[in-house]
Amino acid sequence: MTSQRTRDRLVARLSDQGITQPAVLDAVASTPRHIFIDEALAHRAYEDTALPIGHGQTISQPFIVALMTATLFNVPRDRVLELGTGSGYQAAILAALCQRVFTIERIEPLIERARTRLQALNLNNVIMKLGDGYRGWPEQGPFAGILVTAAPRVVPEELFQQLEVGGRMVVPVGADEVQELRVIDRTPDGYDEQVVEHVRFVPLLKGVRTS
Ligand code: SAH
């Protein structure tokens, strides 16, 4: 169930669904999603579905992870900020595609578990922080890419500022259960925005939770 073959089948399905970038498909093929999921649900790790990871949160559906990743990496990007570490799976996929990943999570037990998993995979290019990602990570910015995996009602101003010129942000936006997945490109003159998809994410919340 956790074999390379099941993972390859997931990759074939993603490719059928229009994810074409070889680097993204390779990252999915080489990242064991089952280790990011509690044992009781690990047998469902290679289904194309979101799964609960505790604390009311979910690991995103593989198609959405692949779509957001492919959208972010329309061009190579070296430093990427992720908001909402959750299980750590998306961070592991990003780590396969860029030099350095910065990721922030507000729920302490989730980030601790994610840290253990990423260490087990020897992904030493992921830098993690317990905190409120709402303001981004100004000390480490600007970033070539920002991937937000929880939905703000409006995109925080700080995130625009932490995007470098030529950088791209992929972010689900909205207060409802279904949100717009927006792509925001920073150009020398300002910002270009487009909506690529409709998605379902948990809300981006304020503050930190230690239990
Ligand atoms: N990327 C994750 C899934 C994201 S679920 C994965 O690959 O598993 C969304 C996550 O965002 C949750 O873990 C939630 O606690 C976190 N989150 C919500 N608001 C946040 C905030 N303001 N700062 C940091 N993390 C936040």
Which residues have C-beta within 8 Å of that of residue 23, sequence separation ≥ 6? 73, 96, 97
The confidence score (pLDDT) of residue 4 equals 87
Q: Tell whether 61 is covered by a domain.
A: yes
Taking a C-beta distance cutoff of 8 angstroms, is the pair 57, 86 a contact? yes
Taking a C-beta distance cutoff of 8 angstroms, is the pair 117, 152 a contact? no
Of the residues 202, 208, 209, 211, which should be mutated to test ligand 1's pocket, given the most ligand atoms within 8 Å of the CB? 202
* CB of residue 135 inside a 6 A radius of ligand 1: no
* CB of residue 69 inside a 6 A radius of ligand 1: no
Q: Tell whether 161 is covered by a domain.
A: yes
Going from the Cα of 76 to the center of ligand 1, the distance in angstroms, rounded, reads 24
Indicate the SS3 state at residue 184: strand
Q: Tell whether 133 is covered by a domain.
A: yes
Indicate the SS3 state at residue 52: strand
* CB of residue 31 inside a 6 A radius of ligand 1: no
The confidence score (pLDDT) of residue 191 equals 98
Going from the Cα of 23 to the center of ligand 1, the distance in angstroms, rounded, reads 24
* The total number of structural domains that make up the chain: 1
Q: Tell whether 33 is covered by a domain.
A: no
Q: Alpha helices, DSSP H only, in 58-161?
A: 62-72, 89-95, 108-120, 157-161
Going from the Cα of 11 to the center of ligand 1, the distance in angstroms, rounded, reads 24
What averages of pLDDT result for each successive group of 10 residues across the chain (211 residues)?
Answer: 82 96 97 95 94 96 97 98 98 98 98 97 97 96 98 97 98 94 98 94 90 80
**CA distances (Å), origin 58, targets 100, 115, 171:** 24, 17, 17
Going from the Cα of 185 to the center of ligand 1, the distance in angstroms, rounded, reads 22
Q: What is the pTM of this model?
A: 0.96
Task: Name which of 5, 57, 66, 63 is nearest 36 in CA terms.
Answer: 57
The confidence score (pLDDT) of residue 168 equals 98
Give the domain CATH number at 85: 3.40.50.150
Whether 60 is catalytic: yes
Q: Tell whether 9 is covered by a domain.
A: no
Q: Tell whether 36 is covered by a domain.
A: no
Taking a C-beta distance cutoff of 8 angstroms, is the pair 61, 50 a contact? yes
The confidence score (pLDDT) of residue 3 equals 73
- Cα–Cα distance, 30 to 11 (Å, whole number): 10
* CB of residue 70 inside a 6 A radius of ligand 1: no
Q: Tell whether 91 is covered by a domain.
A: yes
The confidence score (pLDDT) of residue 2 equals 52
Q: Alpha helices, DSSP H only, in 125-195?
A: 157-161
* CB of residue 147 inside a 6 A radius of ligand 1: no
Total Cβ atoms within 10 A of residue 192: 11
The CA-based angle 68-152-44, given to 5 degrees, is: 45
Going from the Cα of 168 to the center of ligand 1, the distance in angstroms, rounded, reads 19
Q: Tell whether 19 is covered by a domain.
A: no
* CB of residue 130 inside a 6 A radius of ligand 1: no
Bond before 142 cis per omega within 30 degrees: yes
- Cα–Cα distance, 173 to 88 (Å, whole number): 21
- Cα–Cα distance, 101 to 78 (Å, whole number): 8
- Cα–Cα distance, 39 to 48 (Å, whole number): 17
Give the structural domain span for 80. 50-199
Backbone angles phi, psi at 164, to 5 degrees: -80, 160
Give the residue, by CA position, lying nearest to ligand 1 atom 16: 84
